[in-house]
């Protein structure tokens, strides 16, 4: 029998937390955490397991984590999915509004990285005489960063957030800029990191 199958009486033991849901796993007799995502058709093995215990597979849908969600929970699950998507869109809109030029700067940096990679590959190829070198990007990352200083600091903060020792400062600076905080304050956070903490 599928370890993730849920029954109707388990509905009261499902708790939504942001983009995660705690669901009671009947087979393991404990709560498991799955991520919100649109429900999908059941896998064949789960359908067979439901039939084996006298349940109609048509009354279930597949949720992340191998959970078969009963029909009575579909509306609440979909409402949670919709709410999480609305929150994601709101954050994306706030980021675009408060950090103008961010996507343009990402694109320019990606173009420059691709150019450097292609150029280095050409230089390492002894059979390439340099007659057809890679095309240099038309835009300069430095110029675009100068036009959009908030975006430049945000991307620097993202790099910090991906670093084991600078993650705290990076996340704080990203959140500050996304919420409309000043470049100066965000820069101070990045410059004030010590180990994995930030010094105010």
In a domain? residue 2: no
User: Beta partners for 32?
Assistant: 23
> Do 90 and 111 fall within a single domain?
no
Residues β-bridged to residue 31: 24
pLDDT, tens digit, 9 for 90 and up, residues 116-146: 998 888 888 777 666 778 889 999 999 999 9
Last residue of a domain, which of 61, 78, 96? 96
Distance CA 95, CA 113 (A): 24
Look at the chain and report how many structural domains it folds into: 2
- d(C-alpha 43, C-alpha 49), whole Å: 10
Q: Is the pLDDT of residue 26 over 80?
A: no
Tell the burial category of 14 from Cβ atoms under 10 Å away from its Cβ (0-12, 13-18, 19+): buried
Which of 96, 119, 138 is the endpoint of a domain? Answer: 96
The residue range of the domain holding 119 is 102-198
pLDDT tens digit sequence for 53-81: 898 999 999 888 777 888 888 888 888 88
Residues 85, 109, single domain; the answer is no
Verify that 22 and 109 share a domain, yes or no.
no
Q: Which of 3, 21, 17 is nearest to 73 (CA)?
A: 21
- pLDDT for 8 equals 45
What pTM value is reported for the model? 0.70
Q: Are residues 54 and 112 in the same domain?
A: no
pLDDT value of residue 11: 46
111 shares its domain with 191: yes
pLDDT tens sequence across 81-97: 888 889 889 999 999 99
């Amino acid at each position: 029998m599928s370890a993730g199958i849920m029954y109707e009486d388990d509905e009261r033991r499902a708790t939504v937390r942001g983009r995660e849901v705690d669901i009671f796993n009947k087979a393991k007799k404990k709560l498991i955490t799955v991520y919100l995502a649109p429900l999908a058709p059941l896998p064949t093995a789960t359908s067979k397991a439901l039939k084996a215990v006298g349940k109609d597979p048509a009354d279930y849908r597949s949720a992340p984590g191998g959970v078969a969600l009963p029909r009575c929970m579909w509306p609440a699950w979909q409402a949670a999915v919709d709410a999480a998507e609305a929150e994601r869109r709101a954050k994306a809109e706030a980021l675009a509004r408060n950090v103008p030029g961010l996507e343009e700067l990402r694109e320019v940096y990606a173009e420059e990285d691709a150019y450097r990679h292609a150029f280095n590959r050409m230089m390492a190829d002894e059979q390439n005489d340099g007659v057809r070198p890679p095309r240099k990007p038309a835009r300069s990352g430095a110029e675009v960063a100068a036009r959009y200083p908030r975006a430049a600091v945000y991307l620097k903060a993202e790099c910090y957030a991906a670093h084991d020792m600078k993650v705290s400062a990076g996340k704080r600076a990203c959140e500050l800029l996304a919420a409309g905080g000043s470049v100066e304050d965000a820069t101070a956070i990045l410059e004030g990191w010590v180990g994995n903490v930030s010094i105010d």
